[in-house]
């Protein structure tokens, strides 16, 4: 039966078609997807924090309403993705335990502090921009529930990216201090946003197999290249600069040459030692504990509904 399952799986992948939850799949495929989708879900949930910290300090009612909507979208993305991960067999409680106990990874980017209002602009423009560059190809991921979730997520991310760009544009056209604040935010988020795409291809243990399975469609470096090519043009519209004097397009190699990223810092951040890792996890644990009564009430209500039907 396993051999028939594998043959059918191979056929579906070869046709670039979709694997659904009830289909047979190799254990490695299930494990890789559970890892990637749950890490992605954790990132959305932890990623609410740097921006949520600014909701009370947004400079106008309009900005506050937009930022609140954006942070709520991220919560929705997290829930969507946990549901997609659960279809692979690991219950949400277990995924959540992995996050709260510090065993699970989540995106490096959310371990950096958001210091000024301009950071809301840089996060929207650069962080959500990088997320879109990475996630648009994931709409075609071979696992059905993941690919479908990505379609909706990407639409909302586009709105997030534009709102960030617009914050920066307004600051860049404001007073000299405001422009400086925008430039400073771009300077701090440039490198960490390039690191969101993951280690260089030579140090990416998962890429090859994930591409063979049609989960990833491009390598980490390919996507990083695309992203740099996009922001290099957009930054001109802002009237700001990227903090990378070495940045240039090499015609012969057909690629962007950017500065060497600090991969030691990246390794420290993804192993729990970034500037805000401890704070982010502590805050998440606290929110989980404070939300216990909601989960209990929901479970009690669901149990009563089942009783009524029976």
Q: Residues interacting with ligand ACO, by CB under 6 A? A: 35-36, 39-40, 43-44, 47, 105, 107-108, 131, 134, 195-199, 204-207, 210, 216, 220, 270
Q: How far is the CB of 137 from ligand ACO (least distance, A)?
A: 9
Q: Which is nearer to ligand ACO, 63 or 160 (CB)?
A: 160
The tokens of 6 are what? 């594998």
Q: Which is nearer to ligand ACO, 161 or 183 (CB)?
A: 161
C-alpha neighbours within 13 Å on the C-beta side of residue 197: 25
Q: Which is nearer to ligand ACO, 43 or 90 (CB)?
A: 43
Q: Which residues contact 225 (CB under 8 A, 6 or more apart)?
A: 255, 256
**Inter-axis angle of helices 277-290 and 292-309, nearest 10:** 40
Q: How far is the CB of 62 from ligand ACO (least distance, A)?
A: 23
CA distance 270 to 277: 9
Q: Which is nearer to ligand ACO, 172 or 190 (CB)?
A: 190
Q: Which is nearer to ligand ACO, 90 or 207 (CB)?
A: 207
Q: How far is the CB of 292 from ligand ACO (least distance, A)?
A: 25
Nearest by Cα to 170 from 130, 125, 132: 125
Q: Which is nearer to ligand ACO, 263 or 301 (CB)?
A: 263
Q: Is 233 exposed, middle or buried (0-12, 13-18, 19+ CB in 10 A)?
A: exposed
CA distance 78 to 44: 5
Q: Which is nearer to ligand ACO, 196 or 228 (CB)?
A: 196
Q: Is 141 exposed, middle or buried (0-12, 13-18, 19+ CB in 10 A)?
A: buried
Q: How far is the CB of 105 from ligand ACO (least distance, A)?
A: 4
Q: How far is the CB of 81 from ligand ACO (least distance, A)?
A: 9
Q: How far is the CB of 128 from ligand ACO (least distance, A)?
A: 6
Q: Which is nearer to ligand ACO, 51 or 117 (CB)?
A: 51
Q: How far is the CB of 228 from ligand ACO (least distance, A)?
A: 15
Q: How far is the CB of 299 from ligand ACO (least distance, A)?
A: 28
Q: Which is nearer to ligand ACO, 11 or 203 (CB)?
A: 203
Q: How far is the CB of 20 from ligand ACO (least distance, A)?
A: 20
């Amino acid at each position: 039966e396993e051999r028939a399952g594998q043959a059918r799986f191979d056929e579906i992948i070869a046709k670039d078609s979709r694997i659904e939850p009830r289909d047979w799949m190799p254990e490695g495929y299930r494990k890789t997807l559970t890892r990637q989708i749950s890490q992605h879900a954790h990132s959305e949930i932890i990623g609410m924090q740097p921006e949520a910290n600014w909701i009370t300090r947004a400079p106008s009612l309009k900005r506050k309403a937009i930022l609140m909507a954006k942070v709520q979208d991220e919560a929705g993305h997290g829930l969507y993705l946990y549901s997609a991960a659960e279809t692979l067999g690991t219950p949400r409680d277990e995924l959540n335990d992995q996050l709260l106990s510090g065993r699970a990874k989540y995106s490096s980017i959310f371990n950096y502090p958001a210091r000024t209002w301009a950071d809301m602009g840089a996060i929207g423009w650069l962080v959500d921009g990088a997320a879109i560059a990475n996630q648009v190809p994931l709409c075609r991921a071979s696992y059905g529930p993941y690919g479908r979730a990505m379609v909706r997520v990407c639409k909302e991310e586009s709105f997030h990216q534009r709102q960030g760009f617009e914050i920066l544009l307004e600051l860049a056209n404001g007073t000299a201090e405001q422009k400086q604040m925008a430039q400073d935010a771009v300077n701090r988020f440039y490198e960490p946003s390039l690191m969101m795409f993951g280690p260089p291809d030579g140090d990416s243990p998962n890429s090859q197999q994930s591409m063979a399975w049609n989960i990833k469609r491009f390598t980490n470096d390919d996507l990083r290249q695309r992203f740099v090519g996009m922001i290099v043009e957009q930054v001109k519209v802002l009237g700001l600069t990227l903090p990378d004097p070495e940045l240039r397009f090499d015609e012969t190699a057909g690629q962007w040459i950017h500065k060497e990223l600090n991969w030691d810092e990246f390794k420290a951040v993804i192993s729990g030692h970034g500037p805000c890792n401890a704070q982010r996890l502590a805050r998440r644990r606290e929110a989980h504990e404070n939300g216990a009564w909601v989960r209990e009430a929901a479970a009690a209500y669901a149990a009563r509904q089942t009783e009524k039907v029976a």
